[in-house]
Structures are given as structure tokens and as C-alpha cells.
Amino acid sequence: MSGGVDSSVAARLLAEKDYDLSAVFMRNWDTRDESGTDVGCQWEKDWEDVQRVCRMVGIPRRMVDLHRQYWTQVFEPSLNSWESGSTPNPDVWCNREVKFGALLQHLAQDSQTLWLATGHYARKDWHGHNITFPPRPRLLRARDLSKDQTYYLSSIPESSLTRALFPLGEMHKKEVRNLALKWDLPTAVKDESMGICFVGEKRKFNDFLSRYIPPNPGPIIDMTNSRQIATHQGLWNYTVGQGAKIRGCRMRMFVAKKDLGTNTVFVVPGSHHPALNVNTIHVSNFDWIWTGSPPVGLQQSSGMTAQVKYRHCMESEGCVVHRDGSGLRLRLDVPQKGIAPGQVATLYLQDWCLGCGVIDETDSKG
């Protein structure tokens, strides 16, 4: 449980069934690591909400401190990616390394038959069954596509997915909120949490990162004339596809690419410049949820028709997937903007989430 309305309703729904149910709260971040004080510590408020809900539902609860695992397995690797100019998504790796990794391993010490239920908007079914091979779990998009969270879950392995339960998968957000109000849960009117968990909603992202990454000045180059028009203080301050605040420019400039080797940010005028378009995505290491069992269509010379997401809040885009050495090459049906190295590319066959990989290269050529 996270202390939010979704996991609270999930717990209440499961409490109505014949489960030996208990709640677990993960503590992933410690503000004392930054400031030496507990002032404004969000995890303590969330833990209080979890306890209030559990008392009402009548289930035991405990907190598991995983902030060290989060720091070494999620935050530090993400920090290295930002410093190098990439655009990582820590929430994807938190699910694999911490929630469905370290936490699941910790809980399995007490029981080998446990199920881990979360408030994620996602579904799971079992595919195939015969005498020789047991059924395998498939991760499916939520019924409420506007809240679907399979993108964040696309990195968890089959072994973890086997033990996962998603009680909200068939529900819409409005239904969940209405149930919370009906049951008078303490979190019924609590706002949704937005943004990366360790940054929060009120802090500016770049200000937060500046605590950990020293300045590294470099040129900002206008791609239309190859002239330097400004100096940046670090590649991590800029995101491909987004606007770059540069004084003295007649038009608003947008980031087309970043070059780690020369520590350069390249920009173009206007949001419709062709240099912002991406036609092809390359992923060196793609993690299939079904390890060792990529889709049959991938073997075809014509490639496999699929859909891809490179951000959580977007509709999936059509693409054709080809093997490229040990990696994958994704040719988009329609050129897209704002695709950057470091982002997670998640593949789908309709509702079926196949897995994900980190984008290491993009190409704007046709």
C-alpha cells in the first residue's frame, strides 16, 4: 500500500475475499539523506494514511525499509543517466528492482506461496495450457486506458508477474473513487501523486538534480546555422523535444538532440522543425517479460507489427519491429517528436504488454 486511494480500495476489495491478507508499506526515500531533518517528509504522512485504512479494514500492516535498495538500484543509476544527458524513467525500474524485486524477495522469506497485490491499473491473464507446459502470465492493459499503468510495469520479469494481483484492472478510476467514498476510506479524497516519487510535486526537477550533479558548462548550438547561441550548465537541464529558454532568440527554441561526447545541446527554432521528428528507435537490450520467448512474428523478414509507448501519458504508436543484432529496431508508422535516448520503449501487441528496453539511439531520417 502506498497511502493513496487506489491501493486503499484494492486492499478493501481483497479484504472481502478469503485471503490471509496483510498490508506492506515500502519506505523508498529518506529526506534525512538530503537535509538531516524529517521536516516535510511525505513518506511518514503516507504511512499514517496506510495505518488508518488498515485499522478501518481490519488487516495487519507493516513497513519495510527499502530506501537503501532504492538508492543503489534505482536512484544512482538514474542519476548517472541524467548526468550523461539521457532521459531515464526511475518509476519503471523501481517496480522491477524494488517493488517486484527486493520487496518480493523479502516477503518470500516468510512465505513461498504469497501473492503481491498492488493498486496499479493493469490486468493479468494466463495464456496457454497443456499437459507439457503450464500456463504463463500475460500483462495486459487496464480496462481504463486513460489510467493504464502497464508502461510502469513493463520491466518486471515473468517470475514476479506470476505472483502479482491487480484488483483494479477491470475498473475505471471514477468507480474506484466512488467506492472509496462509499466506504468512507480515509484516503477517499486524497489527491493523486504526480511526478517522480523522490522529487515530489512542489520541487523543481532541475533544482533537485543540482544537489547531486555538479555544473558542466557547454555550448548550445543552433542547428540551422551551426552557431553557438548560448551556454548550458549541464546536459541534464534539457530534454529532447522540449523548449529551451534562451534569451535573445526571435523564435522559441526546442531541443533537437544532445551530444555527450562534445557536451553540446543542439536546438532548432519552432516546435514543428523536421529535426525534431523521429522515424526510427533503436534499443540495444530489450527485456521480454517472457524471457527467451520473443513473439513469433519477430522472426519474419518483414518484421513484426506492434505498438510502442515511450512515455506513460501517451497513446501507443504503431511500429514495425526488426531484430538488429542483439537489439531491436523500431520503425514508427508516423514520425514522432520528443523521443530521447534513455527513455523506456515498451512494446505491445494490442492489449498485451511484451516488455521494454532503454532507447539508446534515434534516427530522424526516413
Q: How far apart are CA 147 and CA 167, in angstroms?
A: 14
User: How many Cβ atoms sit within 10 Å of the Cβ of residue 132?
Assistant: 4
pLDDT of residue 199: 61
**Domains of the chain, first to last:** 5-182 (3.40.50.620), 214-272 (2.30.30.280), 275-363 (2.40.30.10)
pLDDT of residue 197: 62
| 343: nearest Cα among 78, 89, 152 | 89
Q: So which residues are the catalytic ones?
A: 94, 197
pLDDT of residue 193: 73
| 206: nearest Cα among 83, 343, 338, 61 | 83
pLDDT of residue 255: 97
Q: What is the dihedral of CA 354, 360, 364, 366, to 10 degrees?
A: -50
The DSSP output letter for 295 is -
Chain centroid to CA 9: 22
- Check if the beta carbon of residue 134 is closer than 8 Å to that of residue 182: no
Cell of 166: 491487480
Q: How far apart are CA 345 and CA 366, in angstroms?
A: 20
Residuewise pLDDT in 10s, the chain (366 residues): 999 999 999 999 999 998 899 999 999 887 554 443 444 457 889 999 999 999 999 999 999 999 999 999 999 999 999 999 999 999 999 999 999 999 999 998 877 789 999 999 999 999 876 667 789 999 999 999 999 999 999 999 999 999 999 999 999 999 999 999 999 999 999 988 766 666 655 457 888 888 999 999 999 999 999 999 999 999 999 999 999 999 888 899 999 999 999 999 999 999 999 999 999 999 999 999 998 878 888 888 889 999 999 999 899 999 999 998 879 999 999 999 999 999 999 999 999 999 999 999 999 875
- Check if the beta carbon of residue 10 is closer than 8 Å to that of residue 122: no
Amino acid identity at 237 = N
Q: How far apart are CA 134 and CA 144, in angstroms?
A: 29
